[in-house]
């Protein structure tokens, strides 16, 4: 089976990963979603994983 990817896609995906990581970090630190995310994880653990 063919197993290859075009360099164009690879660059686009790489850039997207970097941009997504930067935006997430910025949102996490600046906009202040840190507490909401931590609350979500806590709720998820309690409700679905049982603690």
Partner 1 sequence: MLEEVAFLLAFFLLGIASYYDFKSHEVPDFLCYLFLFLGLVFFAVNLFTHCSNLVLLSAFSAVVFSLAMKFFGGWALGDVFIFSGISLMLPEFNGVAFFPFLVFSAGVLSSAPFVLGYCVFEVFKNDKAKQSFLSLIRRRFFKELGFALVLFLVFLFIEGVETGIGAALGYFLVFFAVSFYKASKDFVLREVKKVNELMEGDIPAVSIDEKGRIVKGFSRNLVVSSMNADGLTLDQIKKLKSLGVSELVVRKSIPFIPLLWAGLVLAGLIVFYIRVF
Where do contacts with partner 1 occur on this chain (CB under 8 A)? Answer: 1-15, 17-19, 22, 30, 48-49
Residue 43 CB, nearest approach to partner 1 (Å): 13
Residue number, 15 or 40, with CB nearest to partner 1: 15
By the 8 A CB rule, do 45 and 51 touch? Answer: yes
Residue 33 CB, nearest approach to partner 1 (Å): 14
Residue number, 5 or 35, with CB nearest to partner 1: 5
Quote the CA–CA distance of 47 and 20 in Å, as a whole number: 28
| Exposed/middle/buried for residue 32 (C-beta within 10 Å: 0-12, 13-18, 19+) | exposed
């Amino acid at each position: 089976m063919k197993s290859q990817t075009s360099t164009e896609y690879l660059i686009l995906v790489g850039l997207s990963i970097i941009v997504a990581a930067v935006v997430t970090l910025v949102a996490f630190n600046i906009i202040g979603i840190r507490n909401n995310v931590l609350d979500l994880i806590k709720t998820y653990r309690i409700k679905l994983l049982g603690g």
